[in-house]
Amino acid sequence: MIIEVKTNQRNYPIIIERGAICKAAEIVYGEPGTDTAVSGTAKSGTADTGAVGSGFTNSGTAGFDGTKRGIIEPGSKAFIVTDSGIPDKWKEALQRQFPSSPMFIFEQGEASKNISTYKEILSWLASNRASRKDTVIALGGGVTGDMAGFAAATYMRGISYINIPTTSLSQIDSSIGGKTAIDLDGLKNIVGAFWQPSAVIIDTDTLSTLPARQLAAGLAEAVKSGLIGDAGLFEIFEEMEALAFMQPTAQADTLASRLDGIIYRSLMVKKAIVEQDENEASLRKLLNLGHTYGHAYESYYAGRYLHGECVAMGMMTIIQDEEIRTRLGKVLKMLDLPISCDADKGRIAELVMSDKKAVGNHIEIAQVDEIGKAHLETWSIGKLRDMLETVQQ
């Protein structure tokens, strides 16, 4: 499957194919005669693709014009950025295809998403004489994509980068849309840039080496996508929840069979929004459902919870409709995601007001009154504090 994303900065393909990581060089350089070079006619998915929820316009996937020429020009050098937690089999699969490409490996985890690691990547690029025509390849999860993307956005005022996400979170959400960032002084993603990738290569085979907890945490973003833009996607999770209740052993098999479709539909929701609001002036803020509180929980707990787990709690905090909260809670429990916490309300409120979307004593948040449709509301600091009662259980 190929999805074309059209933005003002650049158009780029999202290539979803099992085994794609072992064909990355063919995709990137578009070797003549290969089936994996990006073709002029985009292919659509067949399993669980469905329609994007009402309220968003969607330009579809046809028309990417990269016929047999690949993503980057021949002669351009690739610089691979990855982290210590990526299994060797995926690093080696990529290195075999780019034998002359240097590889930068930083310590796994959100704690590495800082100015020091960012500076190290820039110094590494400079010492290896990376030029403006070269490309950074990010191999890993959301932290790797953020770090590599931000380095690419700022090195020599911007060079191209290709994202190869290896986690459910990054494949479902963070690998597209152009948000790149690092953390600073305990504040998440406070320094960054909008820098669209030249391509995203998604190989769902890489999820086979992902721990179950991380897989589930990434699926929180797919649940969010269903809530804001695709009711049918949310219903897939509800069907899984019902099936798991009747046949507990069937849940894993059902998820495995529907995972490609879940990823595709999630990406289509985000694509439809990003194409209309690339730099988050308005509509794109809908993608932050659960993130206003989620990022605050993430900063507060400093590693105790994964990003997707914090988003799950954030969605339970922000959504006011009791029926939707009940349905959401059942789905999150089925995925073994937390729905409550013991965070200090005052400190969480302080962290929320440090969010990039806060203006004075107010902040714009995403809200859902009907599954598959979302809207924006402006909340006061007082209301933010009051809503924290919903997860203090």
Binning the chain into helix, strand and coil, the percentages to the nearest 5 are 45, 20, 35
Residue in 4, 63, 74 with CA at minimum distance from that of residue 32: 74
CA distance 246 to 287: 33
Find out whether 2 and 43 touch, Cβ atoms under 8 Å.
yes
Residue in 366, 365, 361, 337 with CA at minimum distance from that of residue 349: 361
| 3-state helix/strand/coil string of 93-121 | HHHHHCCCCCEEEECCCHHHCCHHHHHHH
Amino acid found at 221: E
CA distance 314 to 341: 10
CA distance 224 to 294: 12
Q: Kindly list the catalytic residues.
A: 157, 179, 221, 270, 280, 284, 288, 291, 295, 307
Find out whether 275 and 7 touch, Cβ atoms under 8 Å.
yes
Q: Which long-range contacts (CB under 8 A, 24 or more apart) does 111-114 make?
A: 111/303, 112/83, 112/143, 112/147, 113/143, 113/146, 113/147, 113/181, 113/182, 113/183, 114/182, 114/183, 114/184
CA distance 284 to 274: 6
Instruction: Provide the residue count of the chain.
Output: 393
| 3-state helix/strand/coil string of 142-204 | HHHHHHHHHHHHHHHHCCEEEEEECCHHHHHHHCCCCEEEEEECCEEEEEEEECCCCEEEECH
